[in-house]
Amino acid sequence: MRWTASILGLTLAGAALLTPTAASAGGHCVFDPVDNLLVCSDSGSTPGGPGVKPPTPPDRAGPRYVYVTTRAPVGECHYWSNRPGGLDAWDPADDAAVIAANSLPNCPAPVVVDPPRDTAWDVFRSWNLAPPSVTLEPSVHGITGLPTFLATPTPRNINYREILPDSRVLQVRARVSQLRVDWGDGTLVVYHPSGALPYPQGSVTHPYRTKTCPPEYREEHPSGGLCHPTLEFYTIRTTFRWVGEFNVGSGWETLGTLDRTVRTPYDIDELRGVPVPTPEGRFSQQ
């Protein structure tokens, strides 16, 4: 007997390509990467003849990732999930590994701890949480005594839904709860993310009192004593604090927080009035 199974059916249905009966029947299977097929025979020899082309792929649906684990009483087994981290059945490079995983028995439903906090935390931690995308005004050099405006868009919330083996629905979400700005001069302020708007609407602002200068300016220029004693620029550290939450039907609970930080060098200059003679022989401040 000769039979084939396409990667497509594996990906969409989330079902085993090799049943335990077929896998234990003593047959021999070969993956054909050209025809994208798994070809098997009961004789123990590699079957010959032309392969069977897979059908035209419909829209992708169903679980995407295959996991291999050890679970009583069957031992090594596999299961499907939408949670990232397993073998990606949508990635052609994983085809052979996914086929091998599905030759194992289906895992029985695990004992689920109530609530499944560990599973929710793994989902939250797997996400690519965005850091701030910072713009400053003035953009290149700040001015002592005048406020610097910091702006960054707030990323959208991330939402996830999974049906657990015990049929409960697990929901996980992440949102930016705080914007934390270390202005680099010893000032750390926590803001609401919605206030990080461009000039002049924004509320995330800070006035610097001391300018920053290169070492040679501090040492040689008559105004070098007005510079910060060590810094050529301030390093602004801007942090999104992401909070993760989960729900299995009894309300949302907090998982914890993860921070994403960017660092921005920022020079501060100084404007000083200088007496300038007028045509009338008087002086004006400029």
Residue 59 has pLDDT above 70, yes or no: no
**In contact, 129 and 174? CB cutoff 8 Å:** yes
Range in 57-71, 172-186, 258-272 with the lowest mean pLDDT: 57-71
Q: How far, in Å, CA of 261 to CA of 264, rounded?
A: 10
**3-class secondary structure, 264:** strand
Average of per-residue pLDDT across 78-87: 89
Comparing 18-27, 38-47, 68-77, 191-200, which segment has the lowest mean pLDDT?
18-27
Percent of the chain at pLDDT exceeding 90: 60
Q: What is the CA radius of gyration of the chain?
A: 31
- CA angle (269, 275, 280) in 5-degree steps: 150
Helix, strand, or coil here: 57? coil
Q: What is the DSSP letter of 224?
A: G
Amino acid 166: pLDDT = 78
Six-digit token pair at 210? 């001391």
Q: Identify the pLDDT of residue 10.
A: 39
Q: Who has greater pLDDT, 234 or 275?
A: 234
**pLDDT at residue 258 is higher than 50:** yes
Q: For residue 273, what pLDDT is reported?
A: 57
Sorting pLDDT into bands at 50, 70 and 90, what band is 51? very low
Identify whether the C-beta of residue 181 lies closer than 8 Å to the C-beta of residue 238.
Answer: yes
